Amino acid sequence: MNARHATASVSLSHYAFHRYFYAIDNNNIDLLINEVFTKDAVLVISNYPPGSGQNLLLDTEEKIRAVYGPIKADGHRHNASNTSVWVNDDITEAKVTSFFVTTIAWGNQGGMYEGTFVPMGDGTWKAKRWLVSSQWGWRLTDTEYKMPAPYLYEPPSVGTEMGGYQPK
């Protein structure tokens, strides 16, 4: 494996991984479909709906749009940490794992992301397999607070110079 190619592959798969957050936090479903996932991507969302103990399989664009499309851009922020990227020796796939915390109005949830990214032949990498494993969360549903919800009214791209993400 060429060290320069391996380093570039790690950076490109990491970039694609973070495009996922930009897409869902800004309700940009087209970016999610066209720039994050391959055409034959398989997504699994564990414990969905939350607390059900069931896994949701999304294996078509229509199913992905049905779940991610209705997510508004004004009620959450996704944050990743402890992200690891492993690229195989022939640079044909990268495995990505990361903890996440999602801040929502009056609550939080978190878990792990696991993905398999593949090079697309045009210098980009996309997720071929994606697992969202929501493992914990809490939400205040009945509170005496007489104030508006935390500052999550606008998409995270508001007030930024580059739309909240790195340009291509």
Per-residue pLDDT of the chain (168 residues; tens, 9 = 90+): 577 777 888 888 888 888 999 898 888 999 999 999 999 999 999 988 777 888 999 999 999 999 998 887 777 788 999 999 999 989 999 999 999 998 877 778 888 999 999 999 998 999 999 999 888 877 776 666 555 555 555 666 665 666 655 555
105 in Cβ contact with 90 (< 8 Å): no
pLDDT at 8: 80
On the 0-12 / 13-18 / 19+ scale of CB atoms within 10 A, 16 is buried
Global pTM? 0.81
In the chain, where are the structural domains located? 3-137
| Secondary-structure percent of the chain, ordered helix, strand, coil, rounded to 5 | 25, 40, 40
pLDDT of 162 reads 61
> According to the model, what pLDDT value does residue 151 have?
55
Rounded CA gap, 32 and 20, in Å?
Answer: 6
Decide yes or no: CATH 3.10.450.50 for domain 3-137: yes
Backbone angles phi, psi at 16, to 5 degrees: -60, -40
